[in-house]
Amino acid sequence: MDTGDDALVWRREGGRALVATVDFFTPIVDDARLWGRVSAANAVSDIYAMGGVPLFGMNLVAWPKDHLPLEMLGEVLAGGAQTAAAGGWVVAGGHTVDGPEPMYGQAVVGEVDADSMLTNAGGRPGDALVLTKAIGTGLVATAVKRLPPSQIAPGGRWFDSYQAAVESMTRLNQTAAAVALASGAHAATDITGFGLAGHLHKLALASGVEAVIDVDAVPVLPGAWALLDEGFVPGGTIKNRDFLAEWFDGGNDKRTLTMLADAQTSGGLLFACPPEAAAAAVADLTGTGHSAAVIGELVAGRAGSIRLIEEGLPC
């Protein structure tokens, strides 16, 4: 038995292993079914980050039954079931409690080949870093909580940003995992609450290497920079940035560091693969609608540090 980045791995006979993970959170969108879809996609992400296949999940719910109708909960659960059906896992019941605020997610169990399982500890100097989704969902989700609904409705100022974030958060990392494995990836992690920089730091630290990031190559959701400039920065993002301050190496300003530390919900995968396989991996991903890019590389250096540059990398 061991642990992945945020998952428990139970090794079994025959070279197979079970992977178990869990995640749940309060609403980040106004539509109940959409919240269910996003939550389930976020919950299963660790399974894909390890190159695994989800088998079954169980719903986890806290619901203020005296304040919100049970019909709305039905929509949340339907959204979770919709995502599970798309990913091929079964929702086998779950547990609900009466709580002061709504929360929803899933505990998911999957299976992975123990010999080809991806962890965040296998990165090697010279590996290219491939990011499979744009960042910025934390900024968009914070704006949704603070802005009038008209601002994210059709015709509203932030409608395009909201739609792009929804499309990203509901996209499963299933294809990204398959591409990572096909590329011969040595290490991988999903990008969630610790942000791109936080999860990259953990990968680099576990792998005993330094990471170099080409800031201009990192894909960012439309409107996310403007939302940052207007102050829609979640508290988790600020905590991430402050924690990582000692690990950043580069003269970049607080604005850049904040974006790289933005706390994500149902973000993409970040994987380290041989540089000669990176371009083909990105082409496969963009061909299926992912906002993928080679954003940097791993090099020999201070383990866990992140060097930021603003120019193209040879990989």
pLDDT at 314 over 50: no
Q: What is the pLDDT of residue 5?
A: 57
- Specify if 118 maps to a domain: no
Q: What is the pLDDT of residue 12?
A: 86
pLDDT at 3 over 50: no
Q: What is the pLDDT of residue 8?
A: 85
Phi-psi region of 76 (alpha: psi -120 to 50; beta: other; left: phi over 0): alpha
- Specify if 122 maps to a domain: no
Percentage of residues in the chain with pLDDT exceeding 90? Answer: 90
Q: What is the CATH number of the domain that holds 135?
A: 3.90.650.10
pTM of the model: 0.94
pLDDT classification of 18: cutoffs 50, 70, 90 = very high
Residue range of the domain that includes 208: 128-309
The interaxial angle of helices 137-146 and 235-244, nearest 10 deg, is: 150
- Specify if 13 maps to a domain: yes
Tell me how far apart the alpha carbons of residues 129 and 127 are, in angstroms, rounded to a whole number.
7
**Can you tell me whether residue 226 is helix, strand or coil?**
helix
Helix, strand, coil content of the chain in percent (nearest 5): 40, 25, 35
Are both 71 and 143 inside the same structural domain? no
Return the HEC string of 255-296.
Answer: HHHHHHCCCCCCCCEEEEECHHHHHHHHHHHHCCCCCCEEEE
Tell me how far apart the alpha carbons of residues 168 and 285 are, in angstroms, rounded to a whole number.
13
Are both 177 and 276 inside the same structural domain? yes
Are both 39 and 175 inside the same structural domain? no
Are both 16 and 137 inside the same structural domain? no
Q: What is the pLDDT of residue 14?
A: 80
Are both 184 and 260 inside the same structural domain? yes
Are both 138 and 87 inside the same structural domain? no
Are both 75 and 214 inside the same structural domain? no
Are both 135 and 231 inside the same structural domain? yes
pLDDT digits 0-9 by tens, 264-309 = 999 999 999 999 999 999 999 999 999 999 999 999 999 999 999 9
pLDDT digits 0-9 by tens, 80-127 = 999 999 999 999 999 999 999 999 999 999 999 998 999 999 999 999
- Give the CB-side neighbour count of residue 125, counting CA atoms within 13 A: 8
Closest CA to 61 of 31, 91, 87: 91
- Specify if 57 maps to a domain: yes
Are both 182 and 207 inside the same structural domain? yes
Q: What is the CATH number of the domain that holds 10?
A: 3.30.1330.10
pLDDT classification of 251: cutoffs 50, 70, 90 = low
The interaxial angle of helices 32-43 and 70-87, nearest 10 deg, is: 40
pLDDT at 310 over 90: no
Mean pLDDT, range 128-155, rounded to an integer = 96
**How long a stretch of residues is the chain?**
315
pLDDT digits 0-9 by tens, 43-56 = 999 999 999 999 99
* 205, 5, 88, 59: CA torsion to nearest 10: -150
- Specify if 275 maps to a domain: yes
Domain end call among 89, 113, 137: 113
- Specify if 120 maps to a domain: no
Closest CA to 257 of 311, 308, 217, 220: 308
pLDDT classification of 59: cutoffs 50, 70, 90 = very high
Ramachandran angles phi, psi of 68, nearest 5°: -125, 135
Helix (H) or strand (E) holding 253, with range, is none
Q: Which residues contact 71 (CB under 8 A, 6 or more apart)?
A: none
The count of structural domains within the chain is 2
- Specify if 151 maps to a domain: yes
Q: Which residues contact 226 (CB under 8 A, 6 or more apart)?
A: none
- Specify if 293 maps to a domain: yes
Are both 199 and 279 inside the same structural domain? yes
Q: What is the pLDDT of residue 312?
A: 55
The pair of structure tokens assigned to 22 is: 């869990």
Mean pLDDT, all residues of the chain: 95
Mean pLDDT, range 173-199, rounded to an integer = 98
Mean pLDDT, range 6-26, rounded to an integer = 88
Are both 171 and 267 inside the same structural domain? yes
Tell me how far apart the alpha carbons of residues 77 and 64 are, in angstroms, rounded to a whole number.
15
Domain end call among 113, 144, 174: 113
Are both 255 and 285 inside the same structural domain? yes
Domain end call among 113, 137, 171: 113
